Amino acid sequence: MENKKYSLKGKFKKALVTGGAGFVGSNLVESLLKDGLEVVSIDDYSAGKEINLKDLQEKYGNKLQAIDCDITKKFELSKHFIDVDVVFNQACSKMTICLKDPLRDLEVNAAGTFNLLELARDNNVKKFVHVSTGSVYGIAQYYPTDEKHPVNPTSYYGISKLAGEKYVRAFAHLYDMDTSILRYFHVYGPKQDAGAFGGVIGIFCEKAIRNRDITIYGDGTQIRSFTHVNDVVNINKLVALKGGKGEAYNCASGLKVTINEIAEKIANHGGSTADIIYEDWKPGDIKDFEVSHEKIKSLGFEFEYLDFNKGLKQTFDWYKKTVAKA
């Protein structure tokens, strides 16, 4: 059920969502359509999936335009900004891609963001919401990590996302554009990819359902702050309404869960008898996250999914139905 508190109905008319066929993007597209907005989804389908938008296209017809477009191609992108008054930049090169092709990572996360900002400026877009990552902080100097924490990324991905942030803040300063930044931390929920571009919960769910071994990188004691996608969608909408110009907000529930706990819970949900296998840490991986969400709460946000077991079961049940259809 949609939370009317964060509705954009009457505030904006037409939204452009990059990464609109992806995990968070497609959930956001659905919510915006329910609010009565026209939506342009921009996705190059390198990670996003057409199936994530198929039902929405059938239900909402021409209220949703699903465009196959790369945000690094500015001329092609420019054709789709007509009458757009709010942009949600969800597109990004994934962590898994940056290790294989760091230059492409930089092109998407920095140059692609710059293209979007220029087009938003030139088309008088009212609000630009940019998605970044908690990885910009690097190794935490203190807990809980708040938005005043120094930014010192330790991965290609974190570096490229920080470059994108710098452009977003520069446009706010140079052109008085109304831009805001969201730093995501470990989002989970329905529609998350369980393959190479997926998050740990999606991957673990798929493995458990198929009774395959679950692989953990490191010793499994690393702490994560998982946030349900429905809360993330509502945070995007709230920041579109109330986010400060050039301000960054942690997008994190504040829950603290270890990777070992997640693997055990998911294996139990699936009745899996497969093993949990441990492999070496991934390069640039940060061991622990303990995140402050006081700044986003100061805008009036209330998290709805603070019962992790409930959110995890809902997510697992979605994967179970999806795998059964495959």
Residues acting as catalytic residues: 157
145 residue type, one letter: T
Per this entry, what is the length of the chain?
A: 326
The whole-angstrom separation of Cα 251 and Cα 281 is: 25
The whole-angstrom separation of Cα 263 and Cα 99 is: 25
CA 211 to chain centre: 28
Closest Cα partner for 187 from 140, 133, 223?
Answer: 133
The whole-angstrom separation of Cα 20 and Cα 23 is: 8
164, 132 contact by CB (below 8 A): yes
135, 157 contact by CB (below 8 A): yes
The answer to whether the bond into 190 is cis (omega within 30° of 0) is no
